[in-house]
Amino acid sequence: MTGAAYAALKGVHMTCAALSHTLFFLRGWSRFQDGRLHMVRWARIAPHVIDTLLLTAAVAMALQVFAVPTMRHFVLVKLAGAIVCILLGMAAFRWLRSQEARREAWWAALAVFVSLAAFAIGKSV
């Protein structure tokens, strides 16, 4: 893969990550403030489309950099963080019953996401 193709993938990945985080924040805020955004059809469908693009770009980039031994740790940390973030998001929006537990899982997912973004920016791959 050329440098330009990798840069394009990285651009798609970063854009999707920003959109995903923004929609996750807005849906959670709406849910916990008795808003209606989290019930709107597009707000329930768009995250799945965006997250699929995000994951696709991430896998394509990981396949490129995982071959470099010094990058394996980076890829594995990002993968583990993404799994934690997804599980916390599912707990916040689906699994947990109490509003307080849902809110805590939502905040935790936001914190994990910000940590992953900071880790990626610090690595600047």
pLDDT (tens digit per residue) in 25-62 = 999 999 888 888 777 888 889 999 999 999 999 889 88
Mean pLDDT of the chain: 89
- Per the structure, the count of domains in the chain is 1
Residue pair 85/47 in contact (Cβ under 8 Å)? The answer is no
Query: Containing domain of residue 111, as a range?
Result: 3-123
Q: Cα(87)–Cα(67) distance, rounded to whole angstroms?
A: 28
**pTM, 2 dp:** 0.85
